[in-house]
Structure 1
Amino acid sequence: MSPKTTAVIIVAAGKGERAGSVEDATPKQYRVVDGQAVLSRTVTAFLSVETISSVLVVIHPDHVDRYAALELAHDRLMPSVAGGPTRQLSVLEGLKVLAPQRPDRVLIHDAARPFVTRHLIGRVIAGLDGYDGALPTLAVTDTIKRSLDGTEIAKTEDRRQLFAAQTPQGFRFGQIFSAHMRATNVRREFTDDAEIAEWAGLRVSMVEGERDNIKITHPEDFQRAERILMSGEGFETRIGTGYDVHPFAEGDAVWLCGVKIPHSAKLQGHSDADVALHALTDAILGAIGEGDIGTHFPPSDMQWKGAASTVFLRHAGKLVEERGARIVNLDVTIVAEAPRIAAHVPAMCAVIAETLGITADRVAVKATTNEKLGFIGREEGIVSMASASVEVPRSR
């Protein structure tokens, strides 16, 4: 029996006007939090789960250029689709696009919940066992009052029976697609997909939600999002190190940190022999437990002969993104008697930052000599060492 497939619809078709401000009218899903757009964080979180078969983002028709500017790319990320005038109709558009794939399950998630974790995603999928749908919830802790006119209290609710709903909400695909199609004939707007499932007579289970799985709705929610990121909750920091050495050969320039520097020799290697980027790539791969550069780009493979080492570095950065992780800082040390690199350091940091999609202040490049000792002192080659600090979703 083939494994069950799980598709994801990320609803990003709203204009996010309530979360805007006088200073920044950017729709909330495209606002940047700690260097990354909200929608990018949300998409990356789902792509980091290997059991997700495909991810579809439903966007506002006016946001095509904004979405393209995020430069999201992955073999499991489908081309975006334009949504409708309401959330309910936007979800239906997504379901229609997924229908030819006939996935077994579908998770429907709000783009404005960027802190969804792989653990919560797993609980929702597991909650579908024996049920038609699964809904993450949090127990209501405040006392809830009901009022008919907003002025006078009419009743106190029993909070033991009240739960706040979150997303992603999971369903068996055929059943929720059918329910959504039928719901288009009902003259009222449903508040979420679980309500449509209830209306259609489907059985929906509840699984434990997460406090940090907030929905960014108002301007102050961005401040809360920053606090969540600063607290590091849900993440752990891992350190990777890299070391590489290349001998000199006849030539007129060396590649170091993606910058070509004139010299009386070149570095010998299968690719462009950028010893610094090789060490840095190994450091990043080590931080996320992904082996070394030779595992991903074997020197025996002729397609990498003469290749720019930024290709290797970019690959390592993509693996970090796919795990929902983030690079904290990178540190590179180059050990050589020559050439002198001090004047090239700003350009080196800029190349690394651009290749990985991070800010240059997270990158440090330093150089030192070997005090004329050993093969480095004899100017027979160059050594580079690197370290990478990466925050990854915390394992349980």
Structure 2
Amino acid sequence: MIFAAILAGGVGNRMGEVDKPKQFLTLGDKPILIQTVEKFYLNSRIDEVIVLCHKYWLNHTKDLIEDYIPNAENIVVVEGGELRNDTIMNAVKYIEDNHELSEDDIIITHDSVRPFVTHRIIMENIEKTQEVGACDTVIPATDTIVVCHDGNIISDIPNRNYMYQGQTPQSFKILKLKECFNKLSDEDKRSLSDAAKIFVLNGEEVAIVKGEVFNIKITYPYDLKVANTIIDDAKLNISDAETGEYKVNLYDFGEE
């Protein structure tokens, strides 16, 4: 089976003075969370979508899903954890408690505030995970990367040709993910910046999937303005495409 875990546990402190976490803010005509969940709910390869959120927002999340995606039997809402990887492991526990797992079962983990993930990216995550066991979605670094350990003096400037910027989804074979996580020391677990590092620290291969520059994470108010511009431009290009002036429907955000 293939599961999607939508990570919606953040409280959105960096979004400024808003009365709710950023995943519940409106993008276009829907909450950001719904824009994201729909990408996975509509994918026929995914058997169940698990939305993980803060305990204080469980009922609100359930109500939103019922309002925008009524009678969706394969979407569940589960309490997240204190940290990102705790939330992912909560998703794994939910799956274990409710399904009989095999070595081939996959979990696709994705930020709730990356609503522009494409069908191609999701499908390639599935394919790469089936092949390798784990994958990360990335784009090549366009800026020079500078390493500084003390916040004052540059320690290194690595070759940009080998540098990539991480996005999501990140996808894993579920039983292997649990095995690797349980092997880590408490110190290693505290050092985790994302789930792919769970595999890296265990010496396991993690394949890469090509992301997209527009697969942005909405973190700051400026990001939300950019996201609404993407939505508006997409709608405009749909209209223009109907006249035959455009060969590409940009609402699919790069899909062929």
Q: What TM bracket, shorter-length normalisation?
A: 0.7 to 0.9
What is the CA distance between 1:185 and its match in structure 2? 3.8
> Which one-letter code corresponds to 2:126 in the other structure?
I
Report what 1:25 is aligned to.
Answer: 19
Report what 1:6 is aligned to.
Answer: 2
Match of 1:15 among 11, 15, 21: 11
What is the CA distance between 1:114 and its match in structure 2? 1.0
Q: Could you tell me how far apart the structure 2 residues matched to 1:90 and 1:126 are?
A: 24
Alpha carbons 1:88, 1:189 under 8 Å: kept? no
Match of 1:393 among 248, 252, 256: 252
Report what 2:199 is aligned to.
Answer: 197
Q: Could you tell me how far apart the structure 1 residues matched to 2:250 and 2:168 are?
A: 24
- Displaced runs of 4+ in structure 1, greater than 6 A? none
Residues 108-187 of structure 1 aligned to structure 2 (within 5 Å): 108-183=109-184, 185-186=186-187
Alpha carbons 2:130, 2:173 under 8 Å: kept? no
Residues 147-296 of structure 1 aligned to structure 2 (within 5 Å): 147-183=148-184, 185-186=186-187, 188-232=190-234, 236=238
Report what 1:40 is aligned to.
Answer: 34
Are 2:59 and 1:61 aligned? no
Report what 2:79 is aligned to.
Answer: 82
Larger helix percent? 2
Alpha carbons 1:132, 1:204 under 8 Å: kept? yes
> Mind listing any 5+ residue stretches in structure 1 that lack a counterpart?
240-389
Report what 1:91 is aligned to.
Answer: 88
Alpha carbons 2:58, 2:78 under 8 Å: kept? no
What is the CA distance between 1:34 and its match in structure 2? 1.3
Q: Could you tell me how far apart the structure 2 residues matched to 1:163 and 1:16 are?
A: 25
What is the CA distance between 1:184 and its match in structure 2? 7.0
> Mind listing any 5+ residue stretches in structure 2 that lack a counterpart?
243-248
> Which one-letter code corresponds to 2:84 in the other structure?
R
Match of 1:224, SS state, is helix
Q: Could you tell me how far apart the structure 2 residues matched to 1:57 and 1:68 are?
A: 9
Q: Could you tell me how far apart the structure 2 residues matched to 1:63 and 1:181 are?
A: 29
Compute the TM-score of the two structures, normalised by the length of structure 2: 0.85
Q: Could you tell me how far apart the structure 1 residues matched to 2:250 and 2:143 are?
A: 34
Cα separation, partners in 2 of 1:231 and 1:47, compared to 1, 3 Å = same
Q: Could you tell me how far apart the structure 2 residues matched to 1:118 and 1:183 are?
A: 33
> Which one-letter code corresponds to 2:176 in the other structure?
Q
Q: Could you tell me how far apart the structure 2 residues matched to 1:184 and 1:52 are?
A: 32
Cα separation, partners in 2 of 1:47 and 1:193, compared to 1, 3 Å = same
Compute the TM-score of the two structures, normalised by the length of structure 1: 0.56
Larger strand percent? 1
Q: Could you tell me how far apart the structure 1 residues matched to 2:118 and 2:93 are?
A: 26
Bigger shift: residues 129-138 or 151-160:
151-160
Q: Could you tell me how far apart the structure 1 residues matched to 2:222 and 2:149 are?
A: 29
> Which one-letter code corresponds to 1:141 in the other structure?
T
What is the CA distance between 1:13 and its match in structure 2? 1.0
Alpha carbons 1:30, 1:37 under 8 Å: kept? yes
Match of 1:166, SS state, is strand
> Which one-letter code corresponds to 1:203 in the other structure?
E
What is the CA distance between 1:207 and its match in structure 2? 1.3
Cα separation, partners in 2 of 1:129 and 1:82, compared to 1, 3 Å = closer
Identity score, percent:
27
Match of 2:204, SS state, is coil
Alpha carbons 2:28, 2:228 under 8 Å: kept? yes
Partner deviation per Cα, 1:274-296 (whole Å, 9 max, x = no partner): xxxxxxxxxxxxxxxxxxxxxxx
Alpha carbons 1:17, 1:25 under 8 Å: kept? no
Match of 1:96, SS state, is helix
Q: Name the Cα RMSD after superposition.
A: 2.4
> Which one-letter code corresponds to 1:77 in the other structure?
I
Structure of greater relative contact order (alpha carbons < 8 Å, 6+ residues apart): 2
What is the CA distance between 1:12 and its match in structure 2? 0.6
